[in-house]
Amino acid sequence: MNAFPSWKDRTQNQFGKLQIQVPWRSFQLLVPHRMRRKIRSKLRSRISPTSSIANLQTSFSPADTLRSLQSHRWTMYDFQYLLLLIIGIFSLTVMQSPGPLAKTAISTLLLFSLLMPITRQFFLPFLPIAGWLIFFYACQFVPSDWRPAIWVRVLPAMENILYGANISNILSAHQNVVLDILAWIPYGLCHYGAPFVVSLILFFFGPPGTTPLFARTLGYITGIPMLATMVREPLRSCPADYSMQGNPAGLARIDKLLGIDLYTSGFKQSPVVFGAFPSLHAADSTLAALFMSHVFPRLKFIWITYTLWMWWATMYLSHHYAVDLVCGGLLATVAFYFAKTRFLPRIQTDKMFRWDYDYVEVGDSSRQFGYDLATLDGEFNLDSDEWTVGSSSSVSSGSLSPVDDHYAWESETLTSNHDIEAGR
């Protein structure tokens, strides 16, 4: 036997072990970012013919959720859950009705909805809204000595200082049936149904992750006015107290016109008697307009018109001052652009439906959040993709479709800036 390999064998061994290193860093300097991203998408599609980035989770197993929590890297953004927990415990504690059994049942159902992945994907982003609804109902049971003082003159004074007059009084001075109906449509109808309609539209036509972020942002901007230290009654200049009943103001004319008792009885039984500052009608309509303008920028004029229509209606019906609306609009704008900078999925103009997306970029920094060939450090590895959907969570998955991993606690709902290793 020949102890020394022949020249031919040595040559074959050398070429068999030869690894060709592709200079990706040089390649990325020559090819634009978006072109690299499209090339990578096509390379991935050769191996995985369909993308599941837009698919919903179907697992009923709580073990999947517990496994994802074990691998979750907690950040400062997770303090939102501690805040919601405190609000929930406080609300359930002060509530005198329903009884302990009903409150325990509600808490148990909510917990189970967060344990199963198939329901968690809907209820996790809904938590801020649920927290606001529970707190809103519990306000009627909060003792008066716990509540802040009622100021009825500050906002009218600010109105006169900033605008030189009370705009709400000016707009509501001339009333007729046509104007009543025009004000009632956005204020009394659209305001309550718009969040659901907008959520559905964003779900079908926006990038995956847009709807959960909209729900989460809506919940927080709605809850902030509820926690505001200043409350007031815009229709009275006399001393006010928390024993007063709510006043439907201009909506009472709608009840009289339609021959119903909807708004009059509803406002009298409202847990929160006084109007919110900033205005929730202004904040919610502004936020909806900003999200819809993000997904449908060519229809921006329609969303702006709807917002201005809502603002006029709130003042015409004597429910808010102009300063309420401006502050509500500013609150929604700040919240939207904060979410847009860090968590909002970017629109791809060549995509129409959520199912058309095979990758998603979020925030304003493509190099930080997007995935493309530039993320490869000298090695072309199709199994090391990072993705972000609807939050700043980067999930590393061995599959080519990021949401094939149904174990991710956040999936496309939680806001965090760290990588989450996919559960296996």
| pLDDT, mean of residues 325-341 | 93
Contact 247, 272 (CB under 8 A): no
Least confident among 120-129, 344-353, 358-367: 358-367
- Whether pLDDT at 240 is above 50: yes
| pLDDT, mean of residues 245-259 | 88
- Whether pLDDT at 214 is above 90: yes
CA angle, 272 then 276 then 277, to 5°: 150
Tell me which residue has tokens 């200043």.
230
Domain residue ranges of the chain, discontinuous segments joined by +: 148-357
d(CA 397, CA 384): 7
Q: Which of 137-151, 233-247, 369-383 has the highest mean pLDDT?
A: 137-151
pLDDT digits (tens, 9 = 90+) for 80-90: 999 999 989 99
- Whether pLDDT at 269 is above 50: yes
Contact 139, 231 (CB under 8 A): no
- Whether pLDDT at 8 is above 90: no
Q: Work out the widest C-alpha separation in the chain, in whole angstroms.
A: 111
